[in-house]
Every structure is written in structure tokens, then in C-alpha cells.
Chains A and B, each alone.
Chain A
């Protein structure tokens, strides 16, 4: 295993099951950050709750490991206050698409320059095996005893419909592709969704490594990711699922932070700014 500048000092007591896709993803993410030449002091990972959301606990960088479903509003606020930070929002499918569903919708509309990494294992792991928003119909669990009856949530088509400028899907079983897509998402100047197929070895006996290999295919070099309508058509493909960057807006779409008035007059960190008593006196006129 290569060492990176993002390795944690000391031994972390990693809370994931043996064989969990998260182990591989941890290495991939640290390498991606390292290869981009980023300074750990300038990176913040905002995460919520769930096994995926524990990711930043094992990385040597700044993090805000907050509440279930809330990583995205926290991440957006961090980016709004300090646009110089590299901000990543990370969590699982239940965290980001279920509990945080409303935030998913509205933060895409805000378009902060954030890489949004969602581990999608189509099941709830930490609460021990209930259906997630992305579980396929018929998926049986101790709660969905007769199988899931709801339409699975399609994050890619929702994101594209909402105007997300960068939408990708990858599979942790392909580390090289996953690393390159994560790097591209971090570098993209705007909101970038990466839905990561990431098998849960304990609670999802259907969507296994082998299943993902059999039910996915990689977009080839002929594919044009700048065509939004085509990207939408790809997002609707659910057997097999396409992997790669489905959509990348070639035009720069203004981010929320660059449209804020407070950052128009050159950058000065908010905590170093001061209001003079004269400025305050104007409030009483």
C-alpha cells in the first residue's frame, strides 16, 4: 500500500467489515487527493452518519463529521464562507439520497464547487440491512419482508435534471477508474456528483462484487459527456448500468460562492474582517 500525505497518524480502529468496499475506497480517495497535490490543511471532508460517512475519520485532513443526511448543507456553508478550501461531501446512499434528500435537491441548485462522493451499496449497513432509496424492487430485508415495492431512486437522472454540471458513476471494483473520476470531480469547478457502486458484504447478498461486474459497463472513448440529453438517456439505463462521467458541462456554470457579494471585493477571510464603529453607526440612521 502506497503512503500518502493524507494517511492518518497512529492506528485507526476501522469500523468497517472485512471485505467492505469502503476499505478500497479509502485507499483510492487518499491517493486521489495525494496525486492532485493537495495540502491536507486546505481540504475539508464533510460527512454525515452511516458506515460510508466514517470515511474522514481515517484520513489525515480536516473534517466535519456531522449528522445523518446533513453533510451537504454543512459542506456548502463551509465553501461559501471560505472558497479557498477544497470541500468534499461524502456519505452513503441512505445518508445522501434518503435522510438528506431535500438537501441533495437544493444544493445541486446552489452549485457549490464541491465533490459529492456517495457510496451506493443499495442497502442500509449500519442499521443492519434495511432497504435504502436505491434498493432494487423485490429486495427482501427484515423490514421489507415481501420485498421492496418502491421505485428505486435514480440519483444520476435527478442530478442531471437539476442542472448538475458534473455527474458520474463508478464501481469501487475498478480502482483506477474510480480514482480518476474522483480526481476529475474534485478538479471540476462546480458541483460534481460521483455515485460509487460499493458492495456491502454483510447485508446485501444480491448486489455483490460479481453482480456489479455483470451488471455494469464502462462508457467508451466515443461517448460525448457534454451532451446533456444523451447523458440523461444514459442515466436511465439500469441494466446494465453505465460507468464513467455521464455528463460534464463544458461551459462554466457560476457557483454559489463566486456569486456572493462578500467575495466580490477580493478575498479576505471572514474571520479577519472587522466592522468599524462608523460602519455600525450607519445602522442607526
Chain B
């Protein structure tokens, strides 16, 4: 069988170690010269239930979730239950005979004696590298690369563990030989040598790398899915990169600590999800008043309240837009690609420091947990510019000037005193109730972004479009692929990596189109409402989804086709 891309789904239960397969297989695919994209959906539990991971393997760039399943690897008895809608006569299913026959399907079934082999190996944990061997064989990856990775991964645990894992891998490889006799299970794809030097990483790692590149040296957070992954990533790099990592007692403490950290000279951030961010909003307002930089990674999941803790949604744009009492400027970025995850998070630190405002990096579960291949970043192109000044004697923290951006000092660096106040304050940072000072300070704060340079929307497709699809954040890859399938010469896609302030060019970009289609992973079209409020531009069609899952390429394709009919 030879196609340009395949979709493999692993279906198992929590606690089984699917992550071991994902990590090794994704790296193996990249090093073997394939483009790959992994997305996952899982239940909110530590053990049991049913979790699935989709890995798309392609001879060209791929960055979206599709419904179609070419190969389904079933690793638990309930592995088929939730996939009935996605299985067709075209799907090949492999797994323990009893598991793949647990439900009637139209698929082609290939039973493999997983349980017997695992019994031979002596521990269920080896199933994962057995599957790695199997997939390596079915997709013609380089076994030697995988074997090196296994050695490196298990070295610390001793030779015995290394050997057992290599043995499991070989068993899988041997099994694949037999299965490949059936050409439908022989997955042939063109390889691309250049891709072999790329790296495979997920959205959370991209945000973490961007933060470190942006000079982040302090993070305080309270764990909450899906935002925790960035905290974990930075904790793992804390020693090597010099980062203070503090698990706060609550989100209120977390953001106040981040502000204290900036005040003392660090570049601090918080990471959280909607419910946790709700608690942080007083801190956002504080940042606005004391003109402190702060970077907030807000990882969206479906609300209201606890909602669907492990699922995805773009439902918190309004929360980020309006969080914090009072009026003050802010910036919101929403990366839709791994590269933007790195670049925009780096930029968030730069802009926070330069403009002394809170800057948001707005992601979601789908973005953070999805993994893809990425060309190496040239970090010399991502320098940092610290805006801290050495204070002179008689320094005033809130000196009024044309830009509204007063030089920011930190305590103990220079000859001055640094006084910041959550009350309305004088230029010296002392409490005041003087109305004229109040107005002068409000005006100063509100003009700070006048010289700010936008990250403009990116147009994908024909520049002479008459129909424009508008999206932001994690829908990027799916919209691109759906439009590619549509193949229309009059339809383009405007992707907004900066959702607030609305880039100054937005009106021009939207008004060129006769037909405007909005795509958002939420129930109301929050970005569409923002555009409408600020520019009085209406969307003709709103394609929205709020079931907790990302759009699949097929669903979006059909809905776009319907809208264009």
C-alpha cells in the first residue's frame, strides 16, 4: 500500500504506558525522515478508562487531527468502544484477538498474540516496546535508531532492563514481518532526508522552550490540566537553565509571586487553565496598575466550572480579554503552530518587559498535547532585550513621558528607590487621591501600546481571495488542510496569532472578502464578536464546535463545503 499519509490510532487505558510508545515512535518517525503529527484525547482519570492517540505519518507537512483511521492498534478490552464512528471497511485493526472482536466492526481484523508474548517477557510494561517494534516494521523505520533510543532511555535501570526492552522490540519487529505479508499492512511512504534532522516536540514543550528563550527564570503555578505541562517542562529544565520553580498554594499566590519576581528583576510567568486563571484575575489588574510585566500561559479547556477537564476548547478568549477590574492595556497571543508556540512565548516576555503590561499566551489542550516535527530554531535570531534601568538617585518609578512607558528600575540596582502601589499613585509611586494625577496616570497607562508593533494575521492561500476563513490558535493546521482539500482558488485563510489588540491591518484584510467565515472551537464565536465590536464587520457564517474535541479535517471540510455552496 502506498499513500501520501497514514493515520494510526493507539487505543488503550490510562496507566498502561501509551506515552512510552508515543515518545519513542514519534522520535523514530522523524529520525527516519517522515513528517508526523500526534494528537491525543483522554479521560480524566489516572488508571483505566479509554484513551486514544492518533499519529499521522506523512511524506509532507502534517499538523491536524483527522477522523479517518488506517491502522488501529487496540491495547485494551474496551479499546474499540468509543471508536465505532471512525472505523470503516478500510481500517486495519490489530490487537489481541478477544479485544479486537469485542465489538462487531466492518474493519479488517488481524489478531496478534500480545498476551502470550507479554507473558514470555514477564511484565506487561514491555508491551509498549513490543508495539514500537511492530510499528517500526510496518512503517519501514530504521530499527537501529529505535534500538539506540531504547538503550539510552533504559541505561540507568541496568543492562537487564535494556535487554528485556530490546527483546520486546525485536518480538514486535518479527511480528511485523508476518503482518506485512498482507500488502494492506505494508505501509509505504516517501521519506525525506531533511526531516531526519528535525525535532519532534509537543505544544507544551514549544511554550516552555519559548519561555526559556524569552529569558524566563521564574515560574509559580498551581497544577491544573492542561496548563500543568508547561510547569513540568520548566521544572525539568530548572537546574540546567537556572529557573526558579515554585508550586504555589493557590493561583492567587502564583500570580502575585510572579509579580514579585518581576519587581525584583526576574522574568516570571504563570501557567494555568480557565478555572485557575479565574482566581488570578486580581493579579492581572494589579499588573495593570503597578505597570508590571507578567506572562500568563492560559491553557483552555471546556468550561463552565470544572467542565471537561482533559478536553479542548477555545472558550476563554473573553476571559483573557476582560480579566481584571479597571481599564489597562494587555496583549494576547494564540499560537497555532509549534514554531509560533516558541516564537510567540519568547515574544510575550519581550513585549511584557518592553511595554510593562500583562501578556497572555492563549493555548488549549489540543495544542499542548499535540506533537509534531519541527525544524530546528536558530536561537541567535531570538535575542532578549532587558528593559531594566539602573536607577539614578531620586528615581521615580512612574515618571510621565510621551510614550507612557516609564523606565523600570528594580530594588538594589542603582541609587534610587523603587516604589510600586496598587492604589492610584503619583510619579513617585505614592498613594494619591488627586483627580488630575489620576487622569494623567490613566492616560499614561492607556497610551503605552501606541508604538507596539503587531504580529499581523497570516494569509494562507490566494492573495486575491473573495472568501476568507478566519481562525486563531490551535485550529490552524486543520483549517489549512481542510482548505487544501477544497482546493478553491477564491478562498483563503486568515490566521491570527495575535488576537488582541486586533492587529491594525485586520479591517483591510477582512473587508477584501465578500464572504467571511469564522471558525472557532467554542459555542459563541468569541473572536468573531471581538472583530464585530471593534470593526463593525459581520461574519456571514460561523462554524463552531464545542463538544470538547478539536475539529477534525473531515468535519471542517464538510462544514466549509456546506458554507460555500
* Interface, chain A (partner B; CB < 8 A): 12, 15, 40-42, 44, 46, 49, 54, 56-57, 60-67, 70, 73-78, 80-82, 84-85, 102-103, 105-106, 260-262, 269-271, 273-275, 277, 279-285
- Top 6 A-B residue pairs of the complex, sorted by shortest distance between their CB atoms: A77-B260, A74-B260, A106-B249, A271-B265, A81-B264, A77-B257
Complex formed: what's the CA distance from A148 to B380 in Å? 63
- Whether the Cβ atoms of B380 and A80 lie closer than 8 Å is no
Question: Which residue in A56, A75, A85, A275 is a CB contact (below 8 Å) of B215?
Answer: A275
Which residues of A lie under 8 Å from residue B412 when comparing CB positions? 41-42, 62, 82, 84-85
Interface residue? B421 (CB, 8 A): yes
Q: Does B237 contact A (CB under 8 A)?
A: yes
Whether, in the assembled complex, B258 has its beta carbon less than 8 Å from a beta carbon of chain A, the answer is yes
A81 touches B265 (CB 8 A): yes
Q: Are A277 and B380 in contact (CB under 8 A)?
A: yes
Q: 30 A-B Cβ contacts within 8 A?
A: A12-B430, A41-B415, A42-B411, A60-B417, A62-B412, A64-B263, A66-B286, A66-B422, A67-B256, A70-B252, A73-B220, A73-B248, A73-B252, A77-B264, A78-B261, A80-B244, A85-B264, A262-B242, A262-B244, A269-B265, A270-B217, A270-B265, A271-B386, A271-B388, A271-B410, A275-B212, A275-B213, A281-B376, A281-B379, A283-B237
Residues of B within 8 A of A277 (CB): 378-380
B residues contacting the other copy or chain, number (CB 8 A): 67
Name which residue of chain B comes closest to A63, CB basis.
B419
Contact of A61 (CB < 8 Å), options: B199, B263, B417: B417
Q: Do the beta carbons of B257 and A65 come within 8 Å of each other?
A: no
Q: Is the CB of A262 within 8 A of B243?
A: yes
Cβ-closest chain B residue relative to A71: B256
When distances are taken between beta carbons in the complex, the residues of chain A under 8 Å from B519 are none
Given A73-B257, A74-B260, A262-B243, also A82-B199 (CB < 8 A): no
Among residues of B, the one whose C-beta sits closest to the C-beta of A264 is B239
B196 at the interface (CB under 8 A from A): no
In the bound complex, residues from chain A placing their C-beta under 8 Å from that of B217 are 262, 270, 273
A77-B259, A275-B212 known; 15 other A-B pairs, CB under 8 Å?
A41-B415, A57-B421, A57-B430, A62-B411, A64-B420, A66-B420, A77-B218, A78-B261, A80-B218, A81-B218, A262-B242, A280-B213, A280-B379, A283-B213, A284-B209
Q: B268 contacts the other chain (Cβ, under 8 Å)?
A: yes
Query: How far, in whole Å, are A73 and B280 apart by their CA atoms in the complex?
Result: 13
Q: Which of B246, B386, B422, B431 is the one whose CB lies under 8 Å from A80? A: B246
CA distance A274 to B380 in the complex (A): 12
Nearest CB in chain B: distance from A166 CB, A: 21
Residues of A within 8 A of B543 (CB): none
- Select the residue from A61, A282, A284 with max chain B CB neighbours within 10 A: A284
A116 to B380 Cα, complex, angstroms: 44
Max count, chain A CB within 10 A of own CB: residue among B377, B416, B430: B430
Residue B241 at the chain A interface, CB threshold 8 Å: yes
Assess the A62–B419 pair: CB atoms within 8 A. yes
Known contacts A73-B253, A273-B217: A280-B265 contact under CB 8 Å: no
Chain B residues with Cβ below 8 Å from A61 are: 417
Q: Does B83 contact A (CB under 8 A)?
A: no
From A65, A81, A102, A106, contact of B244 by CB (8 A): A81
CB distance from B272 to the nearest CB of A (A): 15
- Residue pair A41, B411 in contact (C-beta under 8 Å): yes
Q: Does B250 touch A at the CB level, under 8 Å?
A: yes
Return chain B residues, CB-CB under 8 Å to A106: 248-249, 253
**Taking the nearest CB of chain B, how far is it from the CB of A73, in angstroms?**
4
A64 touches B377 (CB 8 A): no
A277→B266 CA distance, assembly (Å): 19
Q: Are A275 and B241 in contact (CB under 8 A)?
A: yes
- CB of B268 within 8 A of CB of A77, answer yes
Which residue of chain A has its CB nearest to the CB of B419? A63
Known: A106-B249, A271-B386. Contact between A82 and B411, CB under 8 A?
A: yes
- Asked if A77 meets B220 with Cβ closer than 8 Å, knowing A65-B421, A67-B286, the reply is yes
Q: Contacts A40-B417, A66-B290, A102-B249 given: A46-B411 contact, CB under 8 Å? A: no
Taking the closest CB of chain A, its distance from the CB of B285, in whole angstroms, is 8
Task: Report the separation of the CA atoms of residues A12 and B421 in the bound assembly, to the nearest whole angstrom.
Answer: 15
- List the A residue with the shortest CB-CB distance to B433: A13
For the complex formed, measure the closest distance between the CB of B222 and the CB atoms of chain A, giving whole angstroms.
11
Task: List the A side residues contacting B422 at CB < 8 Å.
Answer: 49, 65-67
A42 to chain B, nearest CB (A): 6
User: Smallest CB-CB separation from B421: which chain A residue?
Assistant: A65
Q: Within 8 Å CB of A57, what residues of B?
A: 421, 430-431
Kindly state whether residue B282 has any CB partner on chain A within 8 Å. Answer: yes
Q: How far is the CB of B238 from chain A (nearest CB, A)?
A: 6
B266 and A62: CB pair below 8 A?
Answer: no
Are the CB atoms of B260 and A76 closer together than 8 Å?
yes
Complex alpha-carbon distance, A87 and B553, angstroms: 55
Given contacts A42-B412, A262-B242, A271-B386, contact A63 B420 (CB under 8 A): yes
Taking the closest CB of chain B, its distance from the CB of A187, in whole angstroms, is 19
Residues of chain A within 8 A (CB-CB) of B376 are 281, 284
A75–B261 Cα gap in the complex (Å)?
A: 9
